[in-house]
């Protein structure tokens, strides 16, 4: 099971866990597993029950994919790092079975063996957290002098996405701003390195040491790209801008 939509890899951990994301611009829910679109505001019938869109996307995932857990569990070993035996044990744990029940299901006859499995899996979880931290720290060690793009101080992760040479940057901008660097965007790429270059260029439309209302940010971004809400969100996600918790004020971080 390796045919995973590109959007899946761009989703947050919480979105991956729930199996879907909400697109604010189109006002729709998108299944990260198969790409099914559920339009918000529409009532969906299922087994003589009517569901609002947010409820129905959960029904869709349960009906078509069993659950996000089962989808993730059944991904290729290259992605999960889990053996078939570990997957079976995890599935039994997910079902809420006791150590004794799991032992009987596996035919081991020993609850101590199952306790060891639980311990090993918790250790694997710890290792995964440490590995993620190591990779983020490694990315932060990229010498700034090797980067053309200014790295925002609030970037959640500093890595090769920001390692863009002047030549690369010029090529990216000419590709996606076909009508000139003042916009609009011809399209918006999925590759993060290209997105970083474009977002960095878009910052030139904002003044430093100035606060903007969300309406003002939208007015600046809207002529550049039809999905201006996506641009606004990514400027925050990539650390180029910050905003107050209520979204009433935005400002540059560079």
Q: Are residues 26 and 89 in the same domain?
A: no
**Counted domains in the chain:** 3
Q: Go through 40-56 and write b for each residue having 16 or more CB atoms within 10 A of its CB, e for each that does not.
A: eeeebeeeeeebebebb
Q: Is residue 77 in some structural domain? A: no
| Mean pLDDT for the stretch of residues 138-164 | 53
Residue after which a domain boundary falls, among 42, 72, 102: 72
H/E segment holding residue 23: strand 20-23
Q: How confident is residue 149, by pLDDT bands cut at 50, 70 and 90?
A: low
CATH of residue 119's domain is: 1.10.10
DSSP, res 130: H
Residue 237 lies in domain: 146-252
Q: Among 11-25, 35-49, 154-168, 201-215, where is mean pLDDT lowest?
A: 154-168
Based on the fold, state whether residues 92 and 127 are members of the same structural domain.
Answer: yes
| pTM > 0.75 | no
132 and 181, same domain (yes or no): no
Residue 187, both tokens: 């399209």
Q: What is the mean pLDDT of residues 109-130?
A: 89
């Amino acid at each position: 099971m390796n045919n995973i939509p590109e959007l899946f890899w761009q989703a947050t951990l919480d979105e991956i866990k729930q199996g879907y994301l909400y697109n604010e611009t189109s006002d729709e829910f998108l299944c990260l597993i198969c790409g099914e679109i559920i339009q918000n505001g529409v009532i969906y019938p299922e087994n003589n029950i009517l569901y609002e869109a947010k409820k129905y996307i959960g029904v869709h995932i349960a009906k078509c994919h069993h659950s996000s857990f089962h989808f993730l569990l059944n991904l290729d070993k290259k992605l999960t790092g889990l053996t078939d035996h570990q997957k079976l044990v995890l599935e039994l744990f997910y079902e809420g079975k006791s150590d004794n029940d799991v032992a009987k299901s596996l035919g081991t006859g020993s609850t101590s063996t199952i306790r060891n499995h639980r311990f090993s899996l918790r250790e694997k979880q710890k290792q995964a957290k440490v590995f993620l931290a190591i990779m983020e720290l490694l990315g932060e060690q990229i010498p700034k002098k090797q980067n053309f793009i200014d790295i925002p101080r609030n970037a959640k992760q500093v890595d090769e996405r920001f390692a863009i040479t002047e030549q690369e940057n010029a090529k990216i901008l000419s590709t996606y701003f076909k009508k000139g660097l003042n916009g609009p965007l011809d399209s918006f790429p999925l590759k993060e390195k290209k997105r970083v270059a474009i977002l960095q260029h878009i910052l030139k439309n904002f003044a430093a040491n100035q606060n903007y209302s969300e309406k003002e940010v939208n007015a600046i971004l809207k002529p550049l790209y039809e999905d201006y809400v996506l641009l606004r969100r990514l400027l925050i996600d990539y650390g180029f801008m910050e905003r107050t918790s209520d979204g009433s004020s935005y400002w540059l971080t560079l």
